Amino acid sequence: MRLTDFWARLEQAFGPGYAASLASDQVLPQLDGRTIRQALDAGTPTVVVWRAVVAAYPERVPRQLH
């Protein structure tokens, strides 16, 4: 998954404002206690980060974005 696709999906699922906040502020256990931005900055593949988002927020991410 390309990084631009990742951000587009995150914004579609959470809205532009909340997606940015979520990426910077929410620590996800699926990412070893890092935020989305920290995981991406550390080189974690976008598909791995996206799967962590889906696992953490299954009710927020529309099925077609899985």
Query: What is the predicted pLDDT for the residue at 28?
Result: 97
Name the phi and psi angles at 28, rounded to 5: -110, 125
- What is the pTM assigned to this prediction? 0.93
Burial readout 22-46 (b: 16 or more C-beta within 10 A, e: otherwise): bbeeeebeebeebbbebbbeeebeb
pLDDT tens per residue, range 12-26: 999 999 999 999 999
pLDDT tens per residue, range 2-60: 999 999 999 999 999 999 999 999 999 999 999 999 999 999 999 999 999 999 999 99
The token duo for 32 is 């070893």
Please check whether residue 41 lies inside any domain of the structure. yes
Please check whether residue 7 lies inside any domain of the structure. yes
Structural domains counted in the chain: 1
Q: Please give the residue range of the domain that contains residue 12.
A: 3-56
